[in-house]
A and B are shown apart, each in its own frame.
Chain A
Amino acid sequence: MDSVISIAGLAKSYGHTLALDGLDLVVRKGEVHGFLGPNGAGKTTTIRILLGLIRADAGQASLLGGDPWNDATALHRRLAYVPGDVTLWPSLTGGEVIDLLGRLRGGLDLAKKHVLLERFDLDPTKKGRTYSKGNRQKVALVAALSSNVELLILDEPTAGLDPLMEAEFRSCINEDRHDGKTVLLASHILAEVEALCDRVSIVRAGKTVESGTLADLRHLTRTTISAELESPPTGIAELEGVHDFQIQGRRVDFEVESDRLGSVLRHLAALSVTSIVSHPPTLEELFIRHYRDGEAS
């Protein structure tokens, strides 16, 4: 059993709104998997199906080797979940909510809880209604991270956290990865996904449009190059795979398709490069390109 989550052709509609339209997703054991997509792409709907809260109209979904709907209770012992929009019972304190959710899951690691409360600088004695958004988020995070489970399902878990807490969250996830946990991280904070994730799936309008390691995905895109040359920059624009070519005196800026990078660099070398800066494609560019393409089609 290599994959912890495996979804194929998942479909779900609410009335006339199509939320999922044949979504595929495979999360392998031990990886941190980024689940990327714009608002309303179907990330939360997918997670809710995985949690057995809603039923899919079509398609297969398997979670930890079981059926998310029929085996919900048994599977939930082995996972922890942080919802995207954390609400707390107004009259319960944060500490009570953390203990309650842990016990309902079948037990929590008290030592770990205390460490996490410290690390996230959370006051557990405040009532639910008095927490800020970021602090509500922390309550849900501590509740999920202080459990000894195989799988973490996190729906935009850092929304509302300050940068220090975000850094703390990243180191927590890295530790959990080290411990062999699997993480499904739905997000649209690209820096976070780039920093944490081994593999990414990008969804748009209820469909998976791209899936693979960051290196795989980068391969499909373009590297940006800025260079200053001694010789007049001739012939570059005509090379295969070069786009957006701009020239200012001896300085050139352009983008090149990743699989043409070698031939373009050989051409540049012949023109005596005095300085060169190249950016690998950021996930952001990847992301934007996919969505633009989607809108255009």
Chain B
Amino acid sequence: MKGLVGTVPLIRLILRRERLRLSIWLLVLTLIPVQTANAFKALYPTEASRELLVNTVGANPAFAALLGPIFGTSIGAVTAWRVGVIGTLLVGLMAVLTVIRHTREEEETGRRELLGATVVGRHAPLTAALLVTVGAGLVLGLMLTGGFVGVGLDTGGSVAFGLGFAATALAFTAVAAVAVQLTEGAGAARGIAVATVGAAFVLRMLGDGGGVPWASWLSPIGWFTQLRSFANTGERWWVLLLPMGLAVILGSVGYLLSARRDVGAGALAPRPGPAQAASTLGSPFGLAVRLQRGGLLAWSLGLAVLGVVYGSVGDSIGDLLTDSPQLSEIFELLGGEQGITDAYFAAAMAILATIASAYTIRAALRLRVEEEGQLCEPVLATAVPRRKWAWSHLLFALAGPVLILAIAGLGAGVTYGAIVGDVAGEMPGVLGAALIQVPAVWVVAGVAAALYGLAPRFTSMSWGVLVACLVFGQLGEILQFPQWLLNLSPFTHIPDLPAAGFTVAPLLWLAAIAALLLFAGLSGFQRRDIG
């Protein structure tokens, strides 16, 4: 147990540093499901109205791919279906980001050494980070259970839902425990862990809507769905053993790797690099390319995969009409089979655009990362003008999402076109639906740039803006937000291509707002102190 000496004070240190961030995570992750349950109570007050929802939307493989299957007609079952997948995805991100921030990042910055020289056991920092994250998952589970019972949902289902979220946090905490052992850089560890969370999301999607049911069983997010909280047929409690088992296995691997390596070192050995800089590494832009290319590649690949998955599911949308002829009349009003498929792609591309916005924020926030890491100082002490340095990274924030959305849209369009046997006919529409999102993503980039230039200490608030857009876009209508609030999100104003007609005016407005925000940010940056 000598290796664990000092764990308790380290837990206190982490809680002190996380008090705001984790509180926000827990609050958002509790409020969204509970508010959704509340909203469903008002929207679908009768068993019959919910049955209709389950039999139409719930029975469709496309929606099953997007949101997972529905297992019951109670308010709880509908809520679990609506928020379960996106909620567990966010729980996974919370878990891996928290663990990495307090393990690998501490080693990379050298703070770990400062602590390691005090009376702190070898395994104490890892243990403290894991315990805090698992603890946060349990608190979240309790809050969710309490919230659901509070709004009058079935107790058994509420407990299952809460435990399901807590178990997801546990599983991804263990994933991060291994990821942080592998590489020397926190950035690379974050890449590995976030990619794992993304893979879990994609596997669940393929399992529930892509015709490969076993794939869901490989995914911690799929396990949450399979727990079937609030199901009419009862919960499958034994599924909880899967994340617990995974946690034991990956946790052990994590500790084994951690015991074998040196502080600061990774399991993957670093290689020496070139003694001289390539000729391309001689300008601020060349430097930005070096610092951003890995991220851009990873995000492009991730969204390409997601695009292909969305595309492969698109065709099954129409099954709804052949399966339930009595409903075809309703959907004729929406434009028939083509109309529904188009609506599906509009919705899918909006989700991809939100993810592309996350890339955009990361790319823009690189400016702040460089500044806080005192890495912009040596560059700005050379003959590089501030404006040029800022643009070198903002270029990625602006052009990056265009590339990412084009790749994702092509992936979706070509896949869908190949399935229905008309690539040339279908691909342009889907690609257009992806690219039309660009101006809204640029507004997000503009917000990040404006915060960076005018209020640098609040730059990370950009993530809050993204979360708001996500909540407004995905849940705003269910939560019955007033229209003026929804209008605050740039994504609200994007025409629903290919379902709705193309209008250029909102796009120009969004681009103009983005340009204005960028200009404000840049001129603020020209004037303010660095550091």
Contacts and interface: CB of A to CB of B under 8 A. Distances in A.
A100 B282 contact: yes
A129 B529 CA distance: 27
The size bracket of the interface on B is 35 or more
Contact of A103 (B108, B277, B530): B277
Contacts of B383: 73-74, 76-77, 104-106
Nearest to A53: B530
B13 interface: no
Given A74-B383, A93-B274, A129-B185, A54 B531 contact: yes
Interface string B247-289: 0000000000000000000000010111111100111101100
Given A127-B270, A130-B184, A87 B373 contact: yes
A99 B272 contact: no
Interface stretch (B211-219, B374-382, B464-472, B481-489): B374-382
Nearest to B271: A127
B439 to A, nearest CB: 32
B25 to A, nearest CB: 27
A93 B373 contact: no
B382 A76 contact: yes
Interface in A89-109: 89-93, 95-101, 103-106
Main secondary structure of the interface of A (DSSP, over half): mixed
Main secondary structure of the interface of B (DSSP, over half): loop
Interface in B98-116: 108
B290 interface: yes
A55 B270 contact: no
B156 interface: no
A241 interface: no
A95 to B, nearest CB: 4
Nearest to A74: B383
Nearest to B277: A99
A81 interface: yes
A54 B283 contact: no
A126 interface: yes
B374 A83 contact: yes
B327 interface: no
A51 interface: yes
A65 B272 CA distance: 43
A91 B290 contact: yes
A109 to B, nearest CB: 14
Nearest to A51: B381
A124 interface: yes
Contact of B380 (A53, A79, A97): A53
Nearest to B186: A90
Contact of B273 (A48, A99, A100, A127): A127
A99 B281 contact: yes
Interface string B354-379: 00000000000000000001110111
Contact of A129 (B184, B276, B381): B184
The size bracket of the interface on A is 35 or more
A105 B527 CA distance: 22
A100 B284 CA distance: 9
B421 interface: no
**From B187, B283, B375, B383, residue with most partner A Cβ within 10 Å:** B383
Contacts of B275: 93, 95, 124-125
Contacts of A96: 273-274, 276-278, 281
A216 interface: no
Nearest to A130: B270
Interface string A124-137: 11110110000000
A127 to B, nearest CB: 6
Interface in A41-100: 48, 51-55, 72-74, 76-77, 79, 81, 83, 85, 87-93, 95-100
Q: 10 tightest CB-CB pairs across the interface, nearest first?
A: A99-B277, A103-B282, A93-B273, A104-B382, A54-B529, A125-B272, A95-B275, A96-B277, A81-B381, A53-B530
Interface of B: 108, 184-185, 187, 270, 272-278, 281-284, 286-287, 290-291, 373-375, 377-386, 527, 529-531
Interface of A: 48, 51-55, 72-74, 76-77, 79, 81, 83, 85, 87-93, 95-101, 103-106, 123-127, 129-130, 140, 143
Given A95-B275, A100-B277, 6 more contacts: A51-B380, A74-B383, A91-B291, A101-B379, A104-B384, A126-B273
